[in-house]
């Protein structure tokens, strides 16, 4: 089955790059028309970048390769169920389908627990653990008004 081939590559990347000390045990590949077009692995600790998750890295590589910011017609294979950040990136990239191996509960059992973030996203801003305060809304709103009327904007 071709899906298993792609998932095996995501799992292989997770293991190889983890053993090499490049980050946590996560790997991902982006596939288009039955071909792997990009690979990503967790680089959080090696790049000192909390956003360098395998899925995000694979999405970035695929977009660079295809010279686009949308991955319609592509699938993502990832060694673990995407965290909230990666899930958002998947939606922004417009991926067609996601396949994952381990669940978020499997990840939590070894110290990668995203439940706090899932809960925080669902809470009203005023009830989140990290205080958030709105400032200069009207000033920022002027930029949105300008964007709305910008004739040469690239909609995304």
Q: Which residues are known catalytic residues?
A: 55
Say if residue 22 is exposed, middle or buried (CB neighbours under 10 Å; 0-12, 13-18, 19+): middle
Q: Are residues 17 and 63 in contact, defined by beta-carbon separation less than 8 angstroms?
A: no
Residue 22: how many CA atoms within 13 Å on its side-chain side? 18
Contact 43, 60 (CB under 8 A): no
């Amino acid at each position: 089955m071709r899906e298993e081939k792609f998932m095996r590559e995501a799992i292989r990347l997770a293991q190889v790059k983890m053993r090499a000390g490049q980050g946590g045990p996560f790997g991902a590949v982006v596939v288009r028309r039955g071909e792997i077009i990009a690979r990503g692995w967790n680089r959080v600790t090696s790049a000192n970048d909390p956003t360098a998750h395998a899925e995000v890295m694979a999405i970035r590589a695929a977009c660079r390769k295809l010279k686009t910011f949308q991955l319609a017609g592509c699938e993502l294979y990832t060694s673990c169920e995407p965290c909230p950040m990666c899930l958002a990136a998947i939606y922004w990239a417009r991926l067609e389908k996601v396949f994952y191996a381990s669940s978020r509960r499997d990840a939590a059992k070894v110290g990668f627990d995203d439940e706090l973030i899932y809960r925080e996203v669902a809470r009203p801003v005023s009830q989140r653990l990290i205080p958030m305060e709105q400032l200069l809304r009207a000033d920022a709103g002027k930029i949105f008004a300008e964007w709305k009327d910008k004739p040469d904007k690239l909609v995304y």
